Structure 1
């Protein structure tokens, strides 16, 4: 008994040391997850202009929200978006084009607020510079982009649609890992490791047959530390992802989730429903907080880690609240393992020209027969053979 405990303790400590050594402890550990209804909810609930009770964010289901808006003429829908842009823009189940409009208006309003802060001499210079940077980012996001969600709280969250839903054959939702927020969702550094860069790559690789949502919709860990080693933020993110899918998939049909790094734990904990999700593709996973592929109700495809991915140094354990469990990259996990030839590093799996991008695109399009399976994956070869037959 004591020996087993010592081994468990050693493994737990090894997790901490490896995670810390992989990227350095984050000074911002203890990130506060953004949860609950969007800003402006109190004014929305109190609004009686239409003479009816408005669906309460966080309580009304996406189906109830959709039914409510279906019963309103376009002019009244638009009027609600103008009066309550932050609520309508984040209201799962609201018409997606109305959400584009609402978020455009919300970005304009928040930009003006940040510009005022940037010009306020009473604020420290650091705060004024941060406000100016956010104002510039809000202007960028509001310049004709299709923004499905925008929440300025905390480090900021947003979701951007790439492509047109009416023209796309299928839809993908990209779920990111650590260090991604409103300011970094399509950053130039390691661009294809961001949700925005991944969306661009998948769209292009599919010949624009895919519509892709870059979903920066939860509070991610900052750098690598205790937040990244634990599941607290992933659990909060999983709830937000599930709610987002409740509103999206009645329009798109079942989607493919493409999940990177810590985002694979978010996707695992979301327990995606077959009627909403065709399958999950995991890239650079530290573990999914799911014991094995059979713990998911949908097919799990895992892109084999490349030799330069530092995530390989993180022990696959779950002890004392640290670690994300078994390694999805191992054949024993039961996932469909696919090749990542040509990829380099933790953020390089969806770089154009890589086998991992080609495989992820084929999976999202439902073209399993085109997938290049990893050598040690009978589950992948069986799926490809079934598709060929």
Structure 2
């Protein structure tokens, strides 16, 4: 049975937005800088009206003002009233992007890209009810570790479930169509983070299938992305780090008992994700994972991987090895 499709196109709320008598522009595929310019040019109070009238549009526009997006997404669902949702789509498996920390003041941001079976509905609880699989929990562990290690560092963590991961390790998981869609969305999202923020340094961490998303996005990501990290990776869609065509440092680590170690590092007839990035021939910097337990243990408190991720993310120019 094929995997169910993700949320349908057009984007949520887009039909009503385009029918507005004010003749609002179609920003659904616009560059983040174009979106930012649109909101900067609105008369006083007009942006707030748009967020109230079309929260599902404004809350998901990369490049729109940060606080406006938070407010729009909280308006969509009371579950997020005390949190910082930078994107929210309630359809299907859903989409959610959550910010931990003060993104406006941060100069170093780490973006986490989750993998297979993660949805809006298990974002807080983990698929199968296993908390350490929960993207929200993983993001909190990393943010708290960064704050504990460097209390004065201006950092933020973003958990980016802005795409529709495959459901289970089935056909969609061994192919790259979902990752390609995710890579396009990730690139637009990161572009939105750096609009008028030339000082911002970004680390992007891909877990499991999220690392495949990361590999496909790598050539198109802004040069303000200083580090790309693959953990528990089935492959990044290429056979060598050099083929990612990025100036960012490439890191890779896999737990001794991670099941992805058993996957064949190949890509043939559209199946597979290429050489595993932990293989020496790939050419990635090694991320320590010696005490990590299984495929979902990378964010456990005091794991070697968590400590290394916190070091890379809080101070991108420092080598944590």
**Counterpart position of 1:93:** 63
1:368 deviation in Å?
5.3
Instruction: Show the counterpart of 2:273.
Output: 324
Using a 3 Å threshold, how does the CA distance of structure 1 residues 205 and 214 change in structure 2: closer, same or farther?
Answer: same
Structure 2 CA distance, aligned partners of 1:101 and 1:321?
41
What is the CA distance between 1:105 and its match in structure 2? 1.2
Matched, 1:147 2:68: no
Q: Select which of 172, 176, 180 maps to 1:231.
A: 176
Q: 1:34 to 1:248 in 2, by over 3 A?
A: farther
What's 1:353 paired with?
302
1:1-389 alignment to 2 at 5 Å?
A: 29-34=2-7, 36-49=9-22, 53-107=23-77, 139-140=78-79, 142-187=80-125, 189-207=129-147, 209=153, 210-250=155-195, 253-271=200-218, 272-296=220-244, 297-366=246-315, 369=318, 371-372=320-321
The structural deviation recorded for 1:260 is: 0.2
Which protein is richer in helix relative to its size? 1
In structure 2, the partner of 1:18 is none
Change (3 A) 1:274 1:343: same
How far is the alpha carbon of 1:35 from its aligned partner? 6.3
Cα distance, 1:192 vs. partner?
3.7
**Residue 83 of structure 1: how far off its partner (Å):** 0.8
Change (3 A) 1:173 1:32: same
TM-score in terms of structure 2 length: 0.90
Please tell me whether the aligned partners of residues 273 and 298 of structure 1 are also in contact (alpha carbons under 8 angstroms): no
The two structures have a TM-score, normalised by structure 1, of: 0.75
Provide the rounded CA distance (Å) in 1 between the counterparts of 2:104 and 2:30: 27
Question: Residue 111 of structure 2 aligns to a residue in which SS?
Answer: strand
Distance 2:235 2:159 in 1: 22
Contact preservation (8 Å) 1:90, 1:148: yes
Task: Report how far residue 168 of structure 1 moved.
Answer: 2.7
CA RMSD, 1 decimal: 1.9
SS at match of 1:270: helix
Check whether the contact 2:232–2:260 (CA below 8 A) recurs between aligned residues: yes
Runs of 5+ in structure 2 lacking a partner?
Answer: none
Give the paired residue count. Answer: 310
Hey, what's the Cα distance between the residues in 2 that align with 1:301 and 1:362? Answer: 15
